Amino acid sequence: MSKNVLILPGDGIGPEIVAQARRVLELVNAQDNLGLELTEALVGGAAIDADGVPLPQATLDAANAADAILLGAVGGPEWDTNPDFQIRPEKGLLGIRSNLGLFGNLRPAILYPQLAHASTLKPEVVSGLDILIVRELTGGIYFGQPRGVREKEGGIREGYNTYVYDENEIRRIGRVAFEAARARDKRLCSVDKANVLEVTVLWREIMEELSKEYPDVELSHMYVDNAAMQLVRAPKQFDVMVTGNMFGDILSDAAAMLTGSIGMLPSASLDVNGKGMYEPCHGSAPDIAGQNLANPLATIMSAGMMLRYSLNEGATADRIEAAVSAVLDQNLRTGDIWSEGMQKVSTSEMGDAVIAALQA
């Protein structure tokens, strides 16, 4: 039975990095007889330009029908000044996440040993790093109502958003995190701001309540400001971290740098049944778009996560990860992970090298 994979290249470097991941998927599809059918659709700025909206109905229908989705990145300065905030590329991505109920965002920050010197942190601080950030993705301040910009007395404008989680949303993401911790080193750190924000007082309470169901997992709590500091000071103290939508967005970019570059961090966004969308954690990198400079490895590894989590093809995912490791062994580096003595390669040359490693 064939499996439908929807590919959403998006904007900026999105099409460049996705093209390399697509080549990889096409190759392993043939090599391992996976029966994947790959189709593409528009999202983000590309969809605004073609259809006037960031998430056309045809794309949403295709996403609903697909077995799994691979996304590049959306956004760019050309759409940032659109006065209608609903017609922004990012709304396309957020729309897929919320319409498909992709609440569970897994962002694994793993340092390939070959990149210990690519990180801006000292090698001894990051070597052996393997942490998982579990980010709630369809709630919190990103989606809370009311929101907007309004005028108050005296004609003063004020912007406002609502940070809200109900206990079921917290429990749902908590379970994902406890299960993940159970399958790893059994340590879970819940990150909140319970010294200031009531919503995270409830968050902490629910995590405590859940921990009774997971006596084998050691639960700790940390305020988000300290967590940001600890991630840079001594990141290896963490195994799994669980947090809300906005804190998770910020902490995962920080964690990305521990792996050498944001171009190395893949992600999975899963619904209650394990259906998912897979994407690199980085954005559309307008500063290097269209120049064949971007690192495609986070996207290629996201395709690997897709095979593992949504398509039940773990052995092929293992092969992709081994191929990434092999190209790093060959000292090939895109600019973001380049250091003295390494060979600098382009986006497509990095793709070529992964393909060659998969064929070796």
Catalytic residue annotation = 142, 193, 225, 249, 253
Whose tokens are 């759409």? That residue is 79
Nearer of residues 25 and 297 to Mn ion, judged by Cβ: 297
- Residue window 271-310: x/- pattern of binding to ligand IPM, with contact defined by CB under 6 A: ----------x-x---------------------------
Selected from 16, 249, 313, 336, the binder of Mn ion by CB under 5 A is 249
Select the binding partner of residue 260 from ligand NAD, Mn ion, ligand IPM, none (C-beta < 5 to 8 A, by kind). none
287 is known to lie in a ligand binding site: yes
Question: CB neighbours (10 Å) of residue 201?
Answer: 14
Nearer to ligand IPM, 94 or 288 (CB): 94
d(CA 139, CA 137): 6
CB distance 109 to 266 below 8 Å: no
Q: Of these, 41, 69, 74, 268, which contacts ligand NAD (CB under 6 A)? A: 74
Is 289 annotated for ligand binding? yes
Would you list the DSSP string of 158-195? EEE------HHHHHHHHHHHHHHHHTTTSEEEEEE-TT
- Tell me whether residue 225 is annotated as binding: yes
Task: List beta partners, residue 332.
Answer: 343
Ligand-binding site membership of 175 (annotated): no
Give the helix/strand (H/E) hosting 108.
Answer: strand 104-110
* Smallest distance, Mn ion to C-beta of residue 283, A: 7
| Closest distance to ligand NAD from the beta carbon of 262 (Å) | 5
Return the structure tokens found at 159: 């912007």
Tell me the sheet residues that pair with 104.
Answer: 136, 270
Residue 29 annotated in ligand binding: no
- Of the two residues 169 and 249, which places its CB atom closer to ligand IPM in the complex? 249
Best CA proximity match to 131, nearest among 234, 18, 311, 255 = 255
292 is in an annotated binding site: yes
CB within 8 Å of 328: residues ≥ 6 apart: 112, 114, 115
Q: Taking CB under 6 A as the criterion, which residues in 263-322 touch ligand NAD?
A: 263, 279, 282-288, 294-295, 298
Report the nearest approach of ligand IPM to the CB of residue 249 (Å): 4
Tokens of 293: 């400079």
Which residue, 335, 355, 330, 354, is CA-closest to 345?
Answer: 335
* Site membership for ligand NAD, residue 75 (CB under 6 A): yes
Residue 173 interface partner, choices ligand IPM, Mn ion, ligand NAD, none, CB cut-off 5-8 Å depending on type: none
Q: Does 136 bind ligand IPM (CB under 6 A)?
A: no
- Cα dihedral 311, 186, 242, 318 sign: negative
What is the spatial distance between Cα 10 and Cα 139, in angstroms, rounded to a whole number?
Answer: 23
| Residue 68 assigned ligand-binding role | no
Enumerate binding residues for Mn ion (CB under 5 A): 249
Binding positions for Mg(2+) are: 225, 249, 253
Enumerate binding residues for ligand IPM (CB under 6 A): 75, 90, 93-94, 249, 281, 283
Binding positions for NAD(+) are: 283-295
Enumerate binding residues for ligand NAD (CB under 6 A): 13, 17, 73-76, 90, 93, 262-263, 279, 282-288, 294-295, 298, 336
